[in-house]
Structure 1
Amino acid sequence: MGTLLISNLGSLITGNRDPINILGSPEAFVAPYHRYLRVQAHRTIWFAQPGDVLILPTSTDKQFIEYTAELRGFDAAELKILTPDTLNHSVAAIRRVVEEHDVNRIWPYYFDRTIAAFTRSLGLPVPGFVYQSGAELLNSKIFFRALAAGTNAPIADGWVPTSRADAEEYIWEKLSEGHCVILKEDFHVGGLGNLIMSPGQRVTPIGAVRAEICTDRKSVKATLAHHWATVADHEMPKIVIEQYEPDARSIYAGFSLTDDGVSIYGHGEMRMMPVINGLITPILLNNQMRKGSEFLDQAERLSGAVQRMGYRGQLSVDGILTAEGGVFLTEFNARSGGATHNHCIMNTLVAKSPEPDRIMLDRRRCDFPPLGPFLSALRAEGLVFNQANRTGVIVTVHDGGLESETGEFCVIAENLVQAEQMEEAVTTLIRKMSA
């Protein structure tokens, strides 16, 4: 029996519009970031096992496929990969492939209504909750705040405005009290679409594309008008407004929700530069991160509420640890996340016991040299991943030079200091090879 893996992240941002889009409008992305998102779809390759079928929205690099398979101990020929340049993606053609490979389940990046209908057309089972657009509900920041508040989960003080005037009123109230606020679009990812407003102090926009200083109500109104200059008030995207905590650390936890309950598959810290550009896995539960355990407990409790609603699948829960030691949950997403492939790598290639004994640093948006010479250089420098001691560098995304700013790699080490040193050695090597 096999699995049909569908990386519909790329489809969502390259033109196939659904009524609800978790990534916002494609028009909002500048070209380099748009290319980066397109090739993120190749992360799905790390989930594939022999006999599986993958549907990817962009072309793949044959050498990269062979590299990922070899690391995991099987032949790339044992995978069936469908891309736009290899198959006319008609339902009939895909159904034939599904039948030929004895596929009995589907694993999409995001189980939205389009994928649910597509799955049924292939004769594969669809969970009832997602067939009724449940996964889309569980990617809404507005619904997150409602459910979190209803289950007494810790969330930042905030408001869901019904109009631009309503937003202006609440923002000015918080700024007048000396607080910063952050505006988040209901459906968006990675800090994109977010805006921070400060009553006077300059704020580094961690988790947002920019920060604005607003010293009076007039400047609040002007900032809102500028931020959504191209839309009428009735077309303004749904947003949430929250009190912003400068210098907070962004963390996450990933859970699997099944009929048997909730189990955690991994956790870590997001590297915001200023929006997400990598991860530290796992959360370092030392004195500095002493509140990390409290976050994990609260995230698991909220995941339990989602499981009782009927959702089955992966759920990521994000949060922050404030500079004052506070813990807040900030959103959840019922889909594969930016960390899911990392935990797949950690759980299959690195983990030897339930307690983690390695650190992973994930680095994104890299301009890589060709994969073959790059791996040879890593090997010559003693940096390539060593399965015996479970440390080294793994190239997690490489598009074969078809795009730019699209490569990703991770380093795995025994501790954070070693991981940071290894990461610096890799970035130095990339610069040297690109010169």
Structure 2
Amino acid sequence: MPKLVLANPHSRAMTARPDDLPPIPRRGCDIEAARMLWSLAADDIAVIPGPIDKGFLNYLADLLGLSGAVPAVLSMQDYRGIKWYPHDNAELVAEVRNLLDASGFHRRDWTVASYIRDRDVAHWERLLGLDTDAAPYAQDLASLVNSKAVFRALALAAGTPVPEGYAVDAGPELVDTVLELIGRTGSVIVKQDQNSGGLGNTLITTDADLTGFGAAQVLRLDGDLAADLPRALHDHDLVLGDSLDLPRGMAPAKFIVEVYQPDSRSLSSELCIPAAGAPVLRNYGEMRMEPRWSGFVLPPQDLPATVHAQFCADSQQIALSAQRLGYHGLINIDAIVGADHRLTYTEFNGRAGGVTNIDTIGRRLIGEDYLHHRVLLTRNGLRVPRITEFAEHLVRAGLHFDAARGCGIVVGTDDPVTGAIEYVAIGRDRAEAERLEQQLETLAADIAGND
């Protein structure tokens, strides 16, 4: 069945004012949206917010064996900007409708995929006459399954372990909660209720040397905490007054304050929740934190088998909680594992995630069981030449993905603005994946040195 892909990471369910996103978060949304292109088949249609990189589309189509048939991809930049509510972008809706009519498929044959199935996507489905069950999503279900506060409430009710902490509003409650909890480990992490990729997270610590893994910014305190904390929070855009002066592009401010565990590792699982039946685990891995999320290791390495089993079992139960709310689709579940191998769970996100495209690459290039006999290492932000030229470098160096062996380097995303890529190093074991990764980074350094 053909599908319509609405790649909407800057959804109204994720950001307060999508049109007002600062340049760096907006560029991040463009990259997140481009990850969804790996799911395309020749007959599909995609709408992305950023520019169309034809070189990357050709690279992707060639690697996926689409026989030169590049799917139809529309950029919102060619219409009226990043407004996903369909009545704000009538020209784009009309173009999608024309493509659907010219496809040769009946409307009932089409499915819809999105980064997050929010109210705007539900409006698209109804407006285009697509045969989907949009009703629960028209009730803002996406906001519930992307809320850290909702997650903590459901997890505690089900007996799922979560870090010690509370949901709070900006103001005195935030200050009092930080002062109450910071003595546990010397650090707390303050998270915006709805945000992603660590962008809404601030580590508050009394440790001068602590690295803020998982945080966009670090606030270090000394002296009289009770006196200094309100001013320091205000200076770091954690608003304290009765009136909300929101940082640009950020969701309305409710915060989660949690005790921070310094010596922990971050795990993430992804499941597909059907409308009926048991949720299905698609993948799980360890997030690389440098200090914010910078890639994945799939599956996690150097963990006891009991931790693997517990994480997968708990993820299934958390997904069932989301299903009981009425949600179906992809869900990502994050956890931390301490030095004592104890697991605590921090959030769920009912949407595509940072590993969705990696999982799609693994399944399409290697097979549905790729996690059983491959190790994948990914990293974001490696600077290289444009994709067409860089793919030739990979071939000459013997690093390009080899379909016969099921190993090599895949370029997961390509940012034509900054020249940064997300790469996937695929090896038959950890040692081979690490060797490929090192060779790739050496190649990128050599190319940069010769420029």
Q: Counterpart of 1:298? A: 314
* Between 380-389 and 31-40, the greater mean CA deviation after superposition: 31-40
* Between 76-85 and 181-190, the greater mean CA deviation after superposition: 76-85
Q: Counterpart of 1:392? A: 408
Q: Is the 8 A contact 1:35 1:405 kept in 2?
A: no
Q: Counterpart of 1:94? A: 96
Assess, with a 3 A threshold, how the Cα gap between structure 1 residues 6 and 352 changes in structure 2: closer, same or farther: closer
Assess, with a 3 A threshold, how the Cα gap between structure 1 residues 286 and 276 changes in structure 2: closer, same or farther: closer
Deviation at 1:151, TM superposition (A): 1.1
Q: Is the 8 A contact 1:358 1:413 kept in 2?
A: yes
Q: Is the 8 A contact 2:386 2:419 kept in 1?
A: no
Secondary structure at the counterpart of residue 411 of structure 2 = strand
After superposition, where does 1:341-360 map in structure 2 within 5 Å? 341-351=357-367, 353=369, 356-360=372-376
Aligned counterparts of 1:266 and 1:426: Cα–Cα separation in 2: 25
Q: CA RMSD in A?
A: 2.3
After superposition, where does 1:318-333 map in structure 2 within 5 Å? 318-333=334-349
Deviation at 1:93, TM superposition (A): 2.6
After superposition, where does 1:5-154 map in structure 2 within 5 Å? 5-9=5-9, 11-12=10-11, 18=12, 20-22=13-15, 29=22, 31-32=23-24, 34-77=26-69, 79-84=71-76, 89-101=91-103, 102=105, 104-124=110-130, 125-154=132-161
Deviation at 1:25, TM superposition (A): 7.2
Q: Is the 8 A contact 2:331 2:350 kept in 1?
A: yes
Letter in structure 1 aligned against 2:312 = L
Aligned counterparts of 2:295 and 2:99: Cα–Cα separation in 1: 35
1:222 and 2:231 correspond = yes
Deviation at 1:49, TM superposition (A): 1.3
Deviation at 1:210, TM superposition (A): 2.7
Assess, with a 3 A threshold, how the Cα gap between structure 1 residues 40 and 273 changes in structure 2: closer, same or farther: same
Letter in structure 2 aligned against 1:421 = R
1:278 alignment partner, one of 292, 295, 299: 295
Provide, for residues 397-428 of structure 1, a one-character-per-residue CA deviation record: whole Å limited to 9, x for no partner.
124xx300542211101222221221121122
Secondary structure at the counterpart of residue 382 of structure 1 = coil
Secondary structure at the counterpart of residue 291 of structure 1 = helix
Deviation at 1:200, TM superposition (A): 4.1
- What TM-score does the superposition give when structure 1 sets the normalisation length? 0.91
Letter in structure 2 aligned against 1:250 = S
Deviation at 1:381, TM superposition (A): 1.3
Aligned counterparts of 2:17 and 2:438: Cα–Cα separation in 1: 33
* Between 89-98 and 329-338, the greater mean CA deviation after superposition: 89-98
Aligned counterparts of 1:229 and 1:266: Cα–Cα separation in 2: 35
Aligned counterparts of 1:62 and 1:355: Cα–Cα separation in 2: 30
Secondary structure at the counterpart of residue 182 of structure 2 = helix
In the alignment of these two chains, the number of paired residues is: 424
Q: Is the 8 A contact 1:22 1:139 kept in 2?
A: no
Deviation at 1:365, TM superposition (A): 1.6
Q: Is the 8 A contact 2:172 2:240 kept in 1?
A: no
Deviation at 1:22, TM superposition (A): 4.6
Q: Counterpart of 1:334? A: 350
Q: Counterpart of 2:200? A: 193
Deviation at 1:326, TM superposition (A): 1.4
Q: Counterpart of 2:417? A: 403
Deviation at 1:163, TM superposition (A): 4.0
* Between 89-98 and 20-29, the greater mean CA deviation after superposition: 20-29
Assess, with a 3 A threshold, how the Cα gap between structure 1 residues 56 and 25 changes in structure 2: closer, same or farther: closer
Identity, in percent, stands at: 26
Deviation at 1:253, TM superposition (A): 0.5
Deviation at 1:132, TM superposition (A): 1.0
Q: Is the 8 A contact 1:176 1:199 kept in 2?
A: no
Assess, with a 3 A threshold, how the Cα gap between structure 1 residues 178 and 382 changes in structure 2: closer, same or farther: closer
Deviation at 1:155, TM superposition (A): 0.4
Assess, with a 3 A threshold, how the Cα gap between structure 1 residues 324 and 202 changes in structure 2: closer, same or farther: farther
Q: Counterpart of 2:177? A: 170
Secondary structure at the counterpart of residue 431 of structure 2 = helix
Aligned counterparts of 2:143 and 2:17: Cα–Cα separation in 1: 13
Q: Is the 8 A contact 1:22 1:189 kept in 2?
A: no
Deviation at 1:277, TM superposition (A): 1.0
Assess, with a 3 A threshold, how the Cα gap between structure 1 residues 217 and 273 changes in structure 2: closer, same or farther: same
Letter in structure 2 aligned against 1:426 = L
After superposition, where does 1:370-381 map in structure 2 within 5 Å? 370-381=386-397
Aligned counterparts of 2:184 and 2:281: Cα–Cα separation in 1: 39
Letter in structure 1 aligned against 2:308 = G
Structure 1 residue runs without a partner (length 5+): 13-17
Q: Counterpart of 2:262? A: 246
Aligned counterparts of 1:220 and 1:172: Cα–Cα separation in 2: 8
Q: Counterpart of 1:15? A: none
Secondary structure at the counterpart of residue 167 of structure 1 = helix
Aligned counterparts of 1:383 and 1:161: Cα–Cα separation in 2: 49
Aligned counterparts of 2:208 and 2:339: Cα–Cα separation in 1: 16
Q: Is the 8 A contact 2:363 2:369 kept in 1?
A: no
Secondary structure at the counterpart of residue 315 of structure 1 = strand
Q: Is the 8 A contact 2:213 2:290 kept in 1?
A: yes
* Between 211-220 and 107-116, the greater mean CA deviation after superposition: 211-220
Deviation at 1:149, TM superposition (A): 0.9
Secondary structure at the counterpart of residue 385 of structure 1 = coil
Aligned counterparts of 2:151 and 2:238: Cα–Cα separation in 1: 27
Assess, with a 3 A threshold, how the Cα gap between structure 1 residues 85 and 301 changes in structure 2: closer, same or farther: closer
